[in-house]
Structure formats: structure tokens, C-alpha cells
Amino acid sequence: MTTLITIIHVLTCVLIIGAVLLQSGKGADTGVMLGGSSQSLFGARGASSFLSKVTVVLATLFMVTSLSLSLIRQSPVGPSLLLNAPIKSLPAAAPPKTKTP
């Protein structure tokens, strides 16, 4: 189960990177300010594009897989290195000396 969620998590990471890199930036239309029109510079943004919707879905899937992986690893499935570590005890203290009469 952990392997399947990890594979989905990694694929989602790669797809998010691709979707974000394919999108144009918010200030990409600033160059047309002097000679043309910009639909998102000062006005309303309008409908979101297909890539932005895909990014939202992928980000949601990424968060769900991240939370599920952390919850799976939180429960002790196998032996833990910390639980099986040898316990080093301190040397026993010498008994207090008593005065002999």
C-alpha cells in the first residue's frame, strides 16, 4: 500500500512541475501595457484556464498522498531503530560508606 501511494505521490510531483512550468506567469502580459491590451493586468482575471484547474487537482492529490504517507508511517508497522537500540545503563553507584564504631 505504501509503495502504491509513493508511486502516485512521485508521479503527482512530476506532473505538478510540468503543469506549473507550462503556465504563463501573472505578469507575462505587462509588456503589452504601452501598446496593447492586457486582460489580467488591471482588470478581472476571467475564467481560469485548463492548466490552472489541472494544477489545483494535482495539488490536492499531492496533499492527500502526503498526509496519507505520513499517517501510514506514524503507526508502527515494523521494527523501529529507536525502539530496538541497546540501552546503556549508568554504572551502579557505590553503596554509601558507613562508619564503624
Tens-digit pLDDT profile for residues 70-95: 888 775 555 556 666 677 777 777 77
pLDDT of amino acid 29: 58
- The overall pTM is greater than 0.85: no
Q: What Rg value do the Cα atoms of the chain yield, rounded?
A: 29
Residue 24 pLDDT class (50, 70, 90 cuts): confident
Long-range contacts of 91-96 (CB under 8 A, 24+ apart): none
Exposure pattern of 37-74 as b/e (b: 16+ CB <10 Å)? Answer: eeeeeeeeeeeeeeeeebbeebeebbeebeeeeeeeee
